[in-house]
Structure 1
Amino acid sequence: MSATTEDARTLAPRPSGGITQSVKDSLVIARRNLIRMSRIPEMVIFGLVQPIMFVVLFTYVFGGSIRVGGSISPQDYREFLMAGIFAQTVTFATAGAGAGIADDMHKGLIDRFRSLPMARGAVLTGRTLADLVQTTLTLIVLAGVALIVGWRVHENIGKVLLGFLLLLLLGYAFSWIGALIGLTVRTPEAATSGGLIWLFPLTFISNAFVDANQMPTFLRHIAEWNPFSATVQACRELFGNLPPGFVTPDAWPMRHPILASVLWSVIILVVFRTLAVRKYRSAAA
């Protein structure tokens, strides 16, 4: 072995390895993505427009004609609705995560990251953490809009914060689905389409906007076991937003929505993080 080769190996940066290195690398990538988002504020603005439109449309257009439980009160529906809007907002961030990773792949940025001595999963973890920060900001603004249109909570601050933590956990878990989609498709446009097309049936065949008890039997069973529905039901209980006369379905996730929400989110997170990191490694090989 030549002296030149030995010197190159000595000077080449090496990762320290382990969890500590992975955390450091992930935070560096997250910071890079947050700086990028701050320089493109329209990304955040456009991410807010859609949920605000849903709040206004469902509150003022459909609010007086949709029955939930034994109530037809627009105020009761307004409070019933907001947990569904919050959950839809955090899951729709999936498309943004997928498009961002697909864009980095398309521009060759991911290839540059692969050449660096960093943990393999750090690129994806950093991206999803940055998306989590953006989702948190979006939820804060959306909660303010909800309060303006009449949404109220009727439980203590601890339960309310737990509800928002469940929402963020669900959103973070779904961002890994977006990461896998972004690594699989060839263009950001395909990642956006692929990230949204399956979310519409997931969110609408649920208890987000209507009382699942009023659905046809086969749709009701799907809605009751939908991971999305578990988080929505948990948030309604934690926010105190279940309307008078509401009958809780007999399905286990609806009877134990907080536990079901955590279990569903953790399962989705573990499965899709594993698949996404494996996809990243195989593409790097």
Structure 2
Amino acid sequence: MTASTLPGNGSSLAVGTWMVTLRGLKKVLRSPQIIALGMVQSVAFLLIFRYVFGGAIGTGGMRYVDYMVPGLLTVTGLFAGIGAASAAAEDLKEGFFDRLRSLPMPRTAVIAGQVISETARVTWILAITTGLAFATGFRTHAGWGSALAALGLCALFGFAFVWVFVTLGLLSGSPQAAQGFGFLALPLSFVSSAYVPVETMPRWLQAFAEHQPVTVMIDAVRAVTQGGAAETLLGHSTGHYVARALIWTAAIIGVFGTIAVTRFRRP
């Protein structure tokens, strides 16, 4: 990407974002193993919890596969975004971001383009995992529209955490350190309602598990896909959980988006 590729001396935010996004998408397409690794992890979790652990976990009358898949999809969006941390750190270390700073384009466009391209990768992995989930017996009980709405929520949540991981990549200083920071997602994913009801956890752990953002989004996706059965199990309406999930998502994007852009603007 050079100055000659930009439309004049003041590239718009939209054009600059699109150019960085396109570069990120091409980079992913040239390294298909990045997508393959994310899919292998999601499929492994799906099969293990569906066929190995599922028969031993009670979920209050709901079929375990219907309980587990909304959690799995939410966590998939989280884990698939981890690669954004090392990608951002690598671009920073190799001087790609320094070259972009010298071009007449908004600084926000650079980070936004990076986030959008990573989110496209996350969404693709989510779509494949959703198809496999239906193949293993998962069913929605509120119509196909609910399945699309749930996928949209998971993609939005993945978008929010891509901002988190890009920020960690910019702050880490190296791709190796960034990859290590990414595994901070582990406690958020497992200390949640993804695979087991929060009520089965020790009391001292329940407060964190119930109110942390991953559980909030999982409950929203579960309520959207399972309708009345999930509302009975969870205790509130679908709108209640979706509203909480959107508030958490907006807060994550606002906080980490601000940090990422601020860090990028500082040489």
**Could you tell me the TM-score, scaled by structure 1's length?**
0.86
Asked if 1:214 corresponds to 2:200, the answer is yes
Instruction: Say if 2:255 is the partner of 1:271.
Output: yes
Q: Is the 8 A contact 1:207 1:223 kept in 2?
A: yes
**1:134 aligns to what?**
121
Structure 1: distance between partners of 2:227 and 2:218: 10
CA RMSD of aligned residues (A): 2.1
2:20 alignment partner in structure 1:
29
Matched, 1:156 2:148: no
- Residues 1:270 and 1:245: Cα distance change in structure 2 (over 3 Å): closer
**Equivalent residue number for residue 191 of structure 1:** 178
Shift of 1:162: 1.6
Specify the structure having the higher radius of gyration (Cα).
1
Gaps of 5+ in 1: 1-12
Tell whether the 8 Å contact from 1:68 to 1:246 is kept in structure 2 after alignment: no
CA contact (8 A) 1:70 1:244 kept: no
Q: Is the 8 A contact 1:236 1:242 kept in 2?
A: no
Contact kept, 8 Å, 1:77 with 1:243, in 2: the verdict is no
Matched, 1:79 2:74: no
Q: Cα deviations across residues 214-267 of structure 1 (Å, max 9, x unaligned)? A: 2222222211111111111111111117768963258xx998210000000001
In structure 2, the CA distance between the partners of 1:189 and 1:254, relative to structure 1 (3 Å rule), is farther
- SS at the partner of 1:206? coil
Structure 1 position 181, deviation (Å):
0.6
What are the ranges of 5 or more consecutive residues in structure 2 without an aligned counterpart? 1-7
Measure the CA separation in 2 of the matches of 1:267 and 1:69.
Answer: 32
Please tell me whether the aligned partners of residues 234 and 258 of structure 1 are also in contact (alpha carbons under 8 angstroms): yes
Cα pair distance change 1:190/1:137, threshold 3 Å: same
Q: Residue type matched to 1:14 in 2?
A: N
Cα distance in 1 for partners of 2:228, 2:186 equals 24
Deviation at 1:140, TM superposition (A): 1.2
Residue deviations 1:39-80, cap 9 Å, x none? 111111111110100001111110110111146xxxx11111
How many residue pairs match? The answer is 261
Q: Taking structure 1 as reference, are residues 255 and 26 closer, same or farther at Cα in structure 2, changes over 3 Å only?
A: closer
Deviating more after overlay: 109-118 vs 152-161: 152-161
Cα gap change, 1:131/1:182 in structure 2, threshold over 3 Å: closer, same or farther? Answer: same
Alignment partner for residue 132 of structure 2, among 145, 156, 178?
145
